[in-house]
Amino acid sequence: MSSSPRVSVVVAAYNHAPFLTQRLRSVLDQRYDDVEVIFLDDASTDHTADVFAPFADDPRIRAVFNTENTGNAYVQANRGVKLARGEYIWVAQGDDYAHPDFLATLVPILEANPQVGIAYCQSLAVDETGREIESLGRATAGLDPTRWQGDFINDGRDEIRRYLIQRNTIPTLSAVVFRKSVCQAVGYFDERLRLSGDYLTWVRMLMRSDIAFVARPMNFFRYHGGSVRRRSSQEGLLIQGRYRVLAAIRDELGLPEAELEAAFDRVLKSWLKKITRRENRIGLRGGRAIWRLAREVDPGLRRRLLRRLLGLG
Collapsing DSSP to helix, strand or coil, 22 comes out as: helix
Structural domain includes residue 2: no
141 with 267, same domain: the answer is no
Judging by DSSP bridges, how do beta strands 116-126 and 152-154 pair with one another? unpaired
Domain boundary among 230, 265, 288: 230
Q: What is the pLDDT of residue 305?
A: 87
Q: Which residue has the higher pLDDT, 279 or 263?
A: 263
**Which tens digits make up the pLDDT trace of 164-181?**
999 999 989 999 999 999
* Number of domains present in the structure of the chain: 2
pLDDT for the residue 289: 85
Instruction: Round to whole Å and give the CA distance between 102 and 251.
Output: 35
The reply to whether 61 falls in a domain is yes
Residue 244 resides in a domain: yes
Amino acid, single-letter form, for residue 146: T
Residue 269 lies in a domain: yes
Instruction: Name the pTM for this structure.
Output: 0.90
Q: Are residues 56 and 192 in the same domain?
A: yes
- 155 and 110 within one domain: yes
- In angstroms, the CA 313 to CA 310 distance is 8
Residues 131, 198, single domain; the answer is yes
CA atoms 309, 264, 194, 13: torsion sign: positive
Q: Residues 61-117: pLDDT tens digits?
A: 999 999 999 989 999 999 999 999 999 999 999 999 999 999 999 999 999 999 999
Residue 65 lies in a domain: yes
Quick check: 288 pLDDT over 60? yes
DSSP structural state of residue 223: P
Secondary element (H or E) of residue 98: strand 97-98
Residue 158 has pLDDT above 60, yes or no: yes
Share of the chain above pLDDT 90, in %: 75
Looking at 215, 230, 245, the residue that finishes a domain is 230
Among 208, 230, 252, identify where a domain stops.
230
- 78 shares its domain with 18: yes
In a domain, 1, yes or no: no
pLDDT in tens, 206-251: 999 999 999 999 999 998 765 544 444 577 888 898 999 999 999 9
Find the domain containing 279 and state its range.
232-309
CATH code, domain carrying 186: 3.90.550.10
